[in-house]
Amino acid sequence: MADMVQFAKMNGLGNEILVVDMRGRPDSVAPQAAIALAQDDKTAFDQIMAIHDSRLHGTDAYIQILNSDGSMAQACGNGTRCVVQALSADTGMQAFTFQTVAGIVNARELEDGLIAVDMGAPEFRWDRIPLAEEFHDTRMIELQIGPIEAPVLHSPSVASMGNPHAIFWVKDDVWSYDLEKFGPLLENHPIFPERANISIARVRSQSELDLRTWERGAGLTRACGTAACAAAVSAARTERTGRQVTVNLPGGPLQIDWQESNNHVMMTGPAEWEFSGSLDPQTGVWKADPLAQRESHS
């Protein structure tokens, strides 16, 4: 068995996160370890956020992100907030710069305990989302579920927030749709060569959205930060809302601000610590730390 590493089970609005400390090690969390941890009721997660030593000058850490099926993810906003809270408690720092596959991410813990993450600029070009075929206008693409004459869902907005998203706009309750049924079909639709996160969104006002998401590689989730950002920018882009919105997720609200000054999307919300322990990053064998007592922030 490989040397054990420390982990914290956390959540961001119910989006279950494992923050794994891989600093000082040359290896990574293995896909088979991720799958084993995901299948354990105690450690079941939506994403693993593995903290590695910095690989780029000017950054505090390299973050590797894994889904519960063992696949790699490019970005995870809720997971980033959990990493910030964990590192803030460990180092006393409030502001961090991370390197991810999707690029550089800046984040900071605010005085009220909430965490603000600069999610970067959204991408709307069809080949950068990416889509399998060209669409000049990604505010609405040709895609539907259900009969041609009466589709259940149709004409989503698509965007990338470091990972691909499709947002289907509905006028009734987002809970009235069987996302558990439609999500896997749409996630794996041929139009999405790298699969996609699938969301159902309802506009409540110029400054408020309701959102449910089927997360690529993870399934139904109580919160997806990048989906909240993608829905918010798509709502503003289609003139459904303004650029500052509250996005209501099953786990709670996130504040999203699509800044005009630099085109970046700021996401603000909470993170919560549940328990900590140690694990084998190659097998997923783990044990809880009964002595770990840390104040959690909600």
Rounded to an integer, the average pLDDT of 153-167 is 97
pLDDT value, residue 297:
38
Is the per-residue pLDDT at 60 higher than 90?
yes
pLDDT value, residue 2:
59
Catalytic residue among 61, 76, 153, 271: 76
% helix / strand / coil in the chain, to the nearest 5?
A: 15, 35, 45
Q: Is 76 a catalytic residue?
A: yes
User: In this predicted structure, which of 110-114, 145-149, 198-202 has the lowest mean pLDDT?
Assistant: 145-149
Q: What is the pTM of this model?
A: 0.89
User: Do 114 and 218 reside in the same domain of the chain?
Assistant: no
Residue 136 lies in a domain: no
Residue 35 lies in a domain: yes
Residue 133 lies in a domain: no
DSSP strand pairing (47-52 vs 244-249): unpaired
Residue 251 lies in a domain: yes
pLDDT value, residue 249:
97
Q: What number of CA atoms fall less than 13 Å from residue 4's CA on the CB side?
A: 11
The CATH code of the domain that includes 79 is 3.10.310.10
User: Do 71 and 161 reside in the same domain of the chain?
Assistant: no
Q: Which residue in 84, 24, 25 sits closest to 49, CA to CA?
A: 84
Provide the mean pLDDT of the chain.
94
- 267-295: pLDDT as tens digits: 999 999 999 999 999 999 999 987 654 44
Dist CA 2 CA 6 (whole Å): 13
Beta bridge partners of 94: none
Torsions phi, psi for 99 (to 5 deg): -100, 130
Domain count for the chain, please give it.
2
More confident residue, 2 or 153: 153
What do you get for the CA distance between the two ends of the chain, in Å?
36
Q: Is 224 a catalytic residue?
A: yes
Hey, is 78 helix, strand or coil? helix
User: Do 258 and 188 reside in the same domain of the chain?
Assistant: yes
pLDDT value, residue 292:
58
In sequence order, the 6+-apart residues with CB closer than 8 A to the CB of 218 are 46, 47, 67, 68, 69
In sequence order, the 6+-apart residues with CB closer than 8 A to the CB of 17 are 9, 10, 11, 45, 46, 47, 48, 49, 76, 78, 79, 82
- At 197, the amino acid letter reads N
Q: Exposed, middle or buried: residue 121 (CB in 10 Å: 0-12, 13-18, 19+)?
A: middle
Q: Which domain, by its residues, includes 35?
A: 5-119+271-288
Is the per-residue pLDDT at 113 higher than 80?
yes
User: Do 110 and 44 reside in the same domain of the chain?
Assistant: yes
Rounded to an integer, the average pLDDT of 173-199 is 97
User: Do 77 and 149 reside in the same domain of the chain?
Assistant: no
Catalytic residue among 84, 198, 224, 249: 224
User: Do 280 and 244 reside in the same domain of the chain?
Assistant: no
User: Do 280 and 258 reside in the same domain of the chain?
Assistant: no
Residue pair 141/155 in contact (Cβ under 8 Å)? The answer is yes
pLDDT value, residue 239:
98
Is the per-residue pLDDT at 227 higher than 90?
yes
Confidence of residue 296 (pLDDT cuts 50, 70, 90): very low
Residue 105 lies in a domain: yes
